[in-house]
């Protein structure tokens, strides 16, 4: 482990992983080549969600300067909270194990956050695959109807967990990721709570991350959890009318009545927890959300609020 003074002083990278050691090591090969200016590497913290494939041992052997934090069990998205707890820089950049920051993007992000104290989170432009094609979500973010920060990009009401740079203290103040979500649309609640604190979320096209989608994905489980979490988020933070509107949209997107019944079961299983932690957002934040909702169609809504 290098001494703190041997690392870049503005940004720390936190990478979340679970049983994808090959993808992770390919990502680390790219991240460890990044430099702040021309000399200092970025401190990298890998949060291993209790992998059973030897992830931690592999990283220790091949990347001894990368810090590995092993979760006691698979915490899902909330594993990132363990990584941020060890961050000592003012900004934290998040990666999944199949994404990697490009070129001078983190330096650019730090300069933007330095120059704009009101901005709390920067969502990167995402390029995908070997041909580095633009993720369709970027077009949606670029078309946000909210105010635009000159030289940076438009304001958003959400961000993508594995493609953002944010103020470390704002993450902590907002409480990080809510463990009951596990994974799937987990960014939405954190984004809303950051906005409630007065923070701004902005799409920054000059900050770029490269996504090489892993083949080790359970897409069906992710869709199921995302739908449940969308509805939980709505009832955790929105007034009843908005929460009902969002719930109807999510149920309408289910492929069959059986899927709707399963979703209802999953939502109701955590209803007591949602009721316990329900805290309605202030009117200005709700107005911003509704402005985006009214601009977009329901099928594309999740790209700016319920991301992933």
**Domain range annotation of the chain:** 4-211, 219-303
Length of the chain: 308
Bridge partners, 68 (sequence order) = 46
What integer pLDDT is reported at residue 213 of this predicted model?
87
Structural contact between residues 197 and 173, judged by C-beta atoms closer than 8 angstroms: yes
Q: How sure is the predictor about 99, in pLDDT bands with cuts at 50, 70 and 90?
A: very high
State the average pLDDT over residues 99-103: 94
The CATH number of 4-211 is which of 3.30.70.60, 3.90.550.10, 3.90.400.10, 3.40.50.880?
3.90.550.10
Bridge partners, 134 (sequence order) = 127
Give the C-alpha distances (Å, rounded to integers) separating 6 from 35, 43, 86, 114: 11, 9, 16, 21
Question: Over the chain, what is the mean pLDDT?
Answer: 92
Query: Whole-angstrom Cα distance, residue 183 to residue 99?
Result: 17
pTM score, whole prediction: 0.93
Mapped onto helix, strand or coil, the DSSP state of residue 208 is strand
Given a cut of 70, whether residue 19 has pLDDT beyond it is yes
Bridge partners, 141 (sequence order) = none
- From start to end of the chain, where are the E strands? 11-17, 35-36, 40-41, 43-48, 67-70, 91-96, 99-101, 119-128, 133-134, 148-149, 153-156, 164-167, 200-211
102: its two tokens: 């490009």
pLDDT tens figures, 260-288: 999 999 999 999 999 999 999 999 999 99
């Amino acid at each position: 482990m290098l001494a703190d003074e041997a690392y870049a002083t503005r940004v720390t990278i936190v990478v979340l992983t679970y049983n994808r050691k090959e993808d992770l090591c390919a990502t680390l090969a790219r991240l460890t080549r990044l430099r702040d200016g021309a000399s200092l590497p970025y401190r990298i913290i890998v949060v291993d969600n209790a992998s059973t494939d030897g992830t931690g041992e592999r990283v220790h052997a091949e990347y001894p300067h990368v810090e590995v934090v092993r979760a006691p069990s698979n915490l899902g998205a909330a594993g990132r909270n363990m990584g941020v707890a060890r961050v000592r820089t003012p900004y934290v950049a998040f990666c999944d194990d199949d994404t990697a920051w490009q070129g001078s993007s983190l330096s650019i992000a730090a300069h933007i956050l330095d120059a704009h104290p009101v901005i709390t989170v920067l969502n990167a432009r995402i390029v995908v695959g070997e041909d580095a094609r633009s993720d369709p979500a970027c077009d949606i973010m670029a078309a946000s109807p909210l105010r635009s920060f000159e030289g940076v990009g438009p304001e958003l009401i959400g961000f993508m967990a594995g493609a953002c740079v944010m103020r470390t203290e704002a993450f902590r103040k907002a409480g990080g990721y809510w463990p009951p979500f596990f994974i799937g649309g987990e960014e939405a609640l954190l984004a809303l709570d950051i906005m409630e604190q007065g923070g701004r979320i902005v799409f920054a096209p000059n900050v770029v991350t490269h996504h090489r989608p892993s083949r080790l994905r359970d897409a069906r489980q992710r869709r199921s959890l995302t739908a449940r979490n969308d509805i939980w988020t709505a009832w955790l933070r929105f007034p009843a009318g908005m929460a009902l509107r969002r719930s109807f949209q999510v149920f309408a997107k289910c492929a069959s009545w059986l899927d709707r019944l399963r979703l209802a079961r999953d939502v109701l299983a955590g209803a007591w927890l949602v009721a316990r932690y329900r805290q309605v957002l202030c009117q200005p934040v709700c107005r911003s959300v509704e402005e985006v909702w009214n601009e977009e169609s329901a099928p594309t809504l999740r790209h700016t609020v319920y991301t992933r």
